[in-house]
Amino acid sequence: MLQCPSCARRQEPRLICSQCGAPLTADLDLFAALGLPRLLQIDIAELEGAYHDLGRRIHPDRFASASPELRDASLRATALVTRAYRTLRDPVSRGLYWLELHGHKLAENNKQVPPDLAELVFEVQEQLSELRSAREKEGPGMREGMIELSAKRASLQGLMDELYAELVENFAEFDMGDGPDPGQYFAELKTILSKIAYLKTLLRDMDRELDGEKPE
Ligand SMILES: [Zn+2]
């Protein structure tokens, strides 16, 4: 139970006191922070609405002349709500948070290429290195290399769209919760997210090369 520093009412952990409306410092997960059900399929309009409504009610400007404790609670609650909004708005960061929330966190420095993508990654790296050497020599292969790379980029983007569709499907499976083995959904989610992360890096490298920038 949590006690409101303003009116002393004891209540379940929540962001705003049910009696006096003061912001509370509570250790809430990001779904609870926004008052959303703990589900992966989020109505973005509802998310935006909750964020703006809560944000207004706990805004630090409203507590500028309040007690230090209340000012502090308003700052903390605002930071929590902002983090919740930013994390849950994007399906990829929402999925990553879901894994973290359930103790299945994806390894931070997972440099291993997902097996299905290995061949593709190899091809792209070949193309990139050919293009780089053609560019250095200002050779004739440059134009062709750029055209090939653009075409590959388009197919990668197509793959990325498919992965986002798989992510949406996975979210629906989790929310229905009627599968044979929830462990399988976690494994699927991890695979999809690590593929997306890998493709993002690859697309970024391709864009740099297509824009003629030097990689870092
Ligand atoms: Zn209160």
Give the residue among 27, 41, 44 at the shortest CA–CA distance from 95: 41
Express each pLDDT in 96-121 by its tens digit: 999 999 998 877 666 677 888 999 99
Rounded to the nearest angstrom, the distance between the alpha carbon of 48 and the centre of ligand 1 is 25
Rounded to the nearest angstrom, the distance between the alpha carbon of 86 and the centre of ligand 1 is 27
Rounded to the nearest angstrom, the distance between the alpha carbon of 195 and the centre of ligand 1 is 46
Rounded to the nearest angstrom, the distance between the alpha carbon of 81 and the centre of ligand 1 is 19
Per-residue tokens: 103? 């103790």
> What is the model's pTM?
0.88
**pLDDT at residue number 213:** 57
Extract the runs of DSSP E, i.e. beta strands, from the chain: 2-3, 10-11
Over residues 48-75, the mean pLDDT reads 95
Rounded to the nearest angstrom, the distance between the alpha carbon of 60 and the centre of ligand 1 is 16
**pLDDT at residue number 104:** 86
Give the integer Cα–Cα distance in Å for 81 and 216: 34
